[in-house]
Structure 1
């Protein structure tokens, strides 16, 4: 409890200033409640319990042993607003239930309560004590397990808003009609089969939402109401609309995804009625969300596929499991306009998936084709993911869909997360499941926690941040002409980063508030924004003129000081101001403004290092990789255990964003070893170009593996060179050469910043010869590559390979491992000895199934060529390894082809003997041209 005293002091200040106690802070919920228990004791001693008007307390992990904490509230007689809810997000990013399942009987003595929030708990019935709270104006029981709304509900005669979303409601008592002050009733996502025919009797009811239930018939007198203007009945089983719609005052009737197929033309043409997704009941799937599907339709046979590049019949129900762990489930009675479904899984290295600057990619990318194909009954996909919670941000995990065309459309799907285990605690492995209604690209993404609200013209709304409880948006009635979705995100700012960049301990910056409105709109009335103060300034005296309010449009990184353009109202915990359009907002101390972009860039980038290590027994073999800085030493230790040299093998710390591409080059007296033009193209395009993704552990992410050799002109005993690392930019980006790029940080520019500048610097990126004297960097003719850093490599006592003419090289080139053995003539001979079992041999050789699938697709009907290409693929990957011949022959033996293994050994031994004879004659050779 050592950290409780400052919080107690802070809470006391808030009580004296505004009567508020908010302990839904970034601490363990049990500790928050323990602080509240201690606080109530202090208030009792000081006889100021009646000063408390508002209480916010988390109930996650609440147990029966803590019931005395709820009793503490009972003595605060003047409480008007009480929030006892769960909803804290776990490490998987999902909101968790609280543990509150009952209230003490004397809770009803709090007669001043007007707003009560008990959401995200485990109530199975409405507590009896609620029915005596006669002044209750708003009651929120969302996300509980309540089964019925009892007749006693009529006692809450002053109730204006009632929320029962996501419960187990199966019935509603007709006494609900006695709530003559009720304006908003939300009973969506329950198990209701029918509704009482009483809503037209509720004279104040304006918004009624019973979507996502099992209702087959709407109340007969529903459209007789004089007050109702919004009815939401989507995702039910409604087949007909009751009479009276045309003459009613209702403004929106949402009956999407029901079973309405026959309507009068006057209703069909009525813009107030939303009818999308209606199908006959016999063909109707209840919902395209995970909680509302017909589960039995997805109880289908499981088929294990051999490749991540696969196809299957669109009419064949089943769960198709790919080698990558991705599962695609085609439900029963599925209909589709195409005959065959195609899928392809790309690794994180190979894909270019759309990410926001604060997102993290957690999985492979699943591409389902034909692109853009839509269907009524959804297909279920499950994608494995790995997540490391190493940054300071509060995140949630979703499946994102990105369009495969040039429209660059993306959407986050409602997803169900299954965790397999957590070990260590900061790392999670699991899978995310979602239902999809069209084909495109899909992947698991970690995004900043979002809080969303629908703002309509007929009611006041408040959107709270679950990450920063002091940050909120207040929307007045009539601020919009039609419904809009408002999403709020908080980007946390580490005070230490601000101090380090400003080189001052007197620097303050709040978290960054980002707001998105869809569809985009200009609000008719000002919206009040409450932005939390920097934590270190809360409850303290400070010079308010030192704080600056900064604004940045969501598609920009140009922060502008708008302090003089708005009226700032300060409280002990926040600053409020009014706006009519949204973007990103940030409160910073005046001395932070000069380096604001640099602070912001530090928040959205990652510390990385590059390594390049040589194999001890084969120094010409190099592994190069980009690794998060905090994982670098562990990765070096792993590679040392695998037989690589350590030493000075890593670069200084650099900055990269999620998904940034980088390229590896070799400079100095060394060059990358290449064996053909095709091999060179493959190495340049596929081996030496990689992407950085923060969530992948180094041992699982792809690395660059290649061989180096001296340049032909170099004959020194110790050959030195550098493995050089570059960041890749889009060549279409133009940079103003007169612009100061220092804000971009040490050694790395920011793509999104560069996009804003109108010119490009065509000058080459000149190598700093003072860093590595004597080494001349190859020219880089455009800014596609930006140099980051280098790692020195040395080949000691290198003997130049025997240079042979092209025609003789195939015969005698057996000196370096298996490169002579696996020449084309030998591979074609081996291919001629292999029959239909070639794929089995490929499996024993360790080739991935999708590689063999690709070979079959590239050479259809050409069995002999397919076998040769399979062997060639393996040779390109392994022929430079020390034990390549042992690997190859053992694989043949394991596949039952001992006869072929013996032939291969004979070919290799004969070739090696010829090579040794050639070496004996080497002293007589003056130049390679003598051959």
Structure 2
């Protein structure tokens, strides 16, 4: 049961009757909506200023509302209506909306319908804001006209985005949708989301606020300049939305811009990745994949020990439904944050694994970097560069590497007219190669191995 109070002035203005008044609007509902086996009695307070001993029954109108069509019908002659001192009493066979009016007008259905829409209409504005430290987290909210600006100010520390939308009008109980468009999709699995659109039902006492994670429709793109649009009623197709937006559209209400960069997407694990430093060793994309396969439910504990915030871990968990993808996203989120963060990244990973009870994985990481170091030193021995490399850069021979291999061809020695090698040309040539290799080793990632 819902009761909507109506001010006396709001009734007298549209009717033009200074003596008009109306009772509170009564909304009765039940589940399932079935007729009763026998009529039940309902009593509604008489309109303000009207009492049972002075009421003129010809001016009393019992209105029945259709909540689906939003129409009102005068059913006074169809029911057995009588009044007590302060109540009007009648019998019904099913619940619906009822409204008691007292006016000199003979036909009041049109006036009541206009009055109903006037009471149920609310002027609102829409917000679409992105979290500053996580632009893929989008906050959507529908607010009364007079509260939109203050709400925007209160959220400005954590969120940023466009100004609130233009004025829109919604009816109480009306459904509306928010749809992400132009290269942006919702990255969430929730019951109020259908075909990439979020559904709302407007009531003035609700906050109408929802936060979702979004992602680019095409991950290979760079920065995506998309938008979120708000529609009333049924969700239109993309073709309908595009055509109606060009002219008058009673479905489309507002559109606000959004901007997302793929560089911030946790689900993206493509690209080169070399984690570590010459002192502690290197881990590559290929190394991290088998490690992630052996991490189980403790992946969040590992993430916390790596310094990842709980909110970020929750975001990763919500973004990826597959368990393996969650582990990978956590590892790569941390690994990318370590690039350029200084030495000791591999040791930090090993310590986090030990603190999380996975000493076996920490030992595996240590074995990987040790194996990389040994292969690198063996490759230097094979090409006879161990001494030269050690004298040129003592740390070079102790740097660890992965299995990435680059081939370097020895330039041909100089020959005379008889196809004999010019004296000193081979030695000079080899020295040039050694110097070139040392230069490359110091400038390239130490994970590269050079063969002569």
Larger gyration radius, structure 1 or structure 2: 2
Higher RCO, 1 vs 2 (CA within 8 Å, ≥6 residues apart): 2
With the length of structure 2 as denominator, give the TM-score of the two structures: 0.49
More helix by share: 2
Q: TM-score, normalised by structure 1?
A: 0.27
